[in-house]
Amino acid sequence: MCRRNIGNTCVKYANIKDMDLCNLSYEEVKEIASKCQKCALSQTRINVVFGHGPVPCDIMLIGEAPGADEDEQGLPFVGRSGKLLTQILESINIKRPDDIYIANTLKCRPPGNRTPNPSEQEACWPYLEAQLNLVKPKILLLSGTPSVKRVLKIDEPISKIRGQWFKLPGYPDISVMPIFHPSYLLRNPQKTKGSPKWLTWQDMIEVKNALEYLKKVKELSE
Ligand code: URA
């Protein structure tokens, strides 16, 4: 079905295939996701938490899945871990929501905040793929193991690979860095040298340097 031939929004996207999402605008993908019933999480969600921030945007972060606060408000990272994430980003002068686009591997809350399962992540991936194509980040932060596993297809503990730069297969322009999830940092609040919080601070300095480098390259090419 071609969306442009049908005027009624309710049936407009009835037969849209996942691969077609990449030809749609941000608002169109968001509208389709808002009615998604591709997995059982659609039965228990309050809101679809699509993502938030500027489009396009040089930096994007992908977390795990919405929690209770996110489900209620329809926005990513607005609960306790979101507040810590905001502080971490502000430490390198990245302000939410203007300077970073934020999404999750899942758009709907898993009951009891359990870890997303691979079939749910698979069902949700076409939306995230469309977001990556529309947001066009140069730097992509993956927060937490489920996000690293799904996006980079790497099955290593986050403690081993955090702070390293990876390339995203199929996206040669995107540099990817895994970082600790803020909820892990809330459970490990110590700031001593070598602690998760201290390591996250080192990672953020690295991200800040990468953003400054990008800015310089942009200025030189203008
Ligand atoms: N944890 C996540 O991974 N994402 C959110 O949006 C909130 C908490």
Ligand 1 first shell, C-beta below 6 A: 63-67, 70, 76-77, 79, 81-82, 104, 144
What are the structure tokens assigned to 128, written together?
Answer: 């995230």
Nearest to 53 by CA among 82, 21, 20, 32: 82
Looking at the 3D structure of the chain, how many domains does it have?
1
Give whole-number Cα distances, 107 to 80, 131, 162, in Å.
18, 12, 24
Best residue among 60, 77, 114 to mutate for probing ligand 1's pocket (most ligand atoms within 8 Å of CB) is 77
pTM: 0.93
pLDDT in tens, 46-67: 999 999 999 999 999 999 999 9
**Which CATH number goes with the domain that contains 144?**
3.40.470.10
pLDDT of 13 > 70? The answer is no
Measure 206 CA to ligand 1 centroid, in angstroms. Answer: 23
> H or E stretch including 201?
helix 196-221
Domain that holds residue 42: 3-221
pLDDT in tens, 81-99: 999 999 999 999 999 999 9
Measure 151 CA to ligand 1 centroid, in angstroms. Answer: 16
Measure 66 CA to ligand 1 centroid, in angstroms. Answer: 5
